[in-house]
Amino acid sequence: MNLAITLATAGRILAQLRHDRRTLALLVGVPSVLMILLRYVIDDPAAFNRLGPTLLGIFPFVVMFMVTSITTQRERATGTLERLMAGPLGKFDLLLGYAIAFGVVAAAQVTVVLALSLTWLGLDLAGSVWTLVLVAVLDSLLGMALGLFFSAFARTEFQAVQFMPAVVLPQSLLCGLIVPRDTMATWLEWLSDVMPLSYAVEAMQETARTGDFTGVLTRDVLVVGGCTVLSLVLGAATLRRRTP
């Protein structure tokens, strides 16, 4: 572990994004537009209050999963990863560099969507905005770590993109977005219970519902944080200094 290398890596990733204005615009703009669409498609403030936070839990996860899996796949393909692995950079320097950079992007993304939702779209938030931002950032780091892990199994960018629906859609279907989790068939509820996104979404809903830092919320934050750390460790295991 080397702080200078970690920070240089985070700075490098942010610089890459800075040169790619369109991606940056999409990262922040798409969730905002989707939120606006959701608000007017539902056209019912009470239902929007239930679904809005759910979506806030899903966006950062999906976006960061996708961005990370493609970015790391690209690092493998262009040989920059091989170059880094031949040098003094540690695996966790790279992972934390990614985490810091994408954490910053996720925070920006959530801030914009949240500002929009709380003002124009009239989302009613009982809890603290900061809890929401914290959960969103954790959530995006979870997406990032899983993206990193799965990118190791993608040989091409095309395959990396295909992992998105494979990993993300089942979690989105079962996280309570479409049907509340406790009304699903038992086996589906079990599946939903072992999917980290379910807890991220629950934490968002909990924050929207009540001003207290409830036991459920604490548990959710711990589960999401724990899964993030676990995925980062798994991600580190897929980074190899020697390859075939």
Partner 1 sequence: MMNLSGPAIAVRDLRVSRGGTEVLHGLTFEVPRGQVTGLLGPSGCGKTTLIRAIVGVQIVASGEVTVLGEPAGSPALRRKIGYSTQSAAIYRDLTVLENLRYFAAVLGAAKGDAERVIEEVGLTGARKQLGGALSGGQLSRASLAVALLGSPELLVLDEPTVGLDPVLRQDLWRLFQSLAERGVTLIVSSHVMDEAARCHRLIMLRDGEILADDSPEGLREHAGTTDLEEAFLRLIEEKAERVR
Q: 96: closest CA among 242, 233, 221, 196?
A: 233
Query: In the complex, what is the shortest distance from the CB of residue 13 to partner 1, in angstroms, rounded to a whole number?
Result: 10
Among residues 215 and 244, whose Cβ is nearest to partner 1?
Answer: 244
Rule CB under 8 A: is residue 155 a binding residue for partner 1? no
166 binds partner 1 (CB under 8 A): no
Residue type, 225: G
Residue 31's identity, in one-letter code, is P
Size of the site for partner 1 (CB under 8 A): 25
Stretch that binds partner 1, among 29-37, 45-53, 75-83, 219-227 (CB under 8 A): 75-83
| Burial (0-12, 13-18, 19+ Cβ within 10 Å), 143 | buried
Q: Which of 37, 41, 86, 178 binds partner 1 (CB under 8 A)?
A: 86
Give the nearest distance from C-beta 100 to partner 1 in angstroms.
14
Of 47-55, 85-93, 143-151, 187-195, the segment contacting partner 1 by CB under 8 A is 85-93
Question: Which of 40, 87, 130, 186 lies at the binding interface for partner 1 (CB under 8 A)?
Answer: 87
Q: Tell me the C-alpha distance between 125 and 49, whole Å.
A: 8
Other beta carbons within 10 Å of 112 = 16
> 125: closest CA among 60, 47, 56, 53?
53
- The answer to the question of residue 79 lying near partner 1 (CB under 8 A) is yes
78 contributes a contact to partner 1 by CB under 8 A: yes
Please state the closest distance from residue 157 (CB atom) to partner 1, in A. Answer: 13
What is the C-alpha separation between 167 and 80, in angstroms, rounded? 26
Which of 27, 62, 89, 138 is in the footprint of partner 1 by CB under 8 A?
89
Q: Which amino acid is at 29?
A: G
Angle between helical axes of 45-78 and 129-151 (0-180°, round to 10): 40
Nearest to 64 by CA among 149, 140, 133: 140
Subset of 3-42 contacting partner 1 (CB under 8 A): 4-5, 8-9, 11-12, 15-16, 19-20
Cα R_g (the chain), whole angstroms? 18
Closest to partner 1 by CB, 48 vs 102, is 102
Minimum distance of partner 1 from residue 110's CB (angstroms)? 24
Please choose, out of 79-87, 111-119, 174-182, 204-212, the segment that lies near partner 1 by the rule CB under 8 A.
79-87
Of 71 and 198, nearer to partner 1 (C-beta) is 71
Q: How far apart are CA 134 and CA 124, in angstroms?
A: 18
Which among 83, 104, 137, 96 is positioned nearest to 9, based on CA atoms? 96
Q: Which residues bind partner 1 (CB under 8 A)?
A: 4-5, 8-9, 11-12, 15-16, 19-20, 78-80, 82-89, 241-244
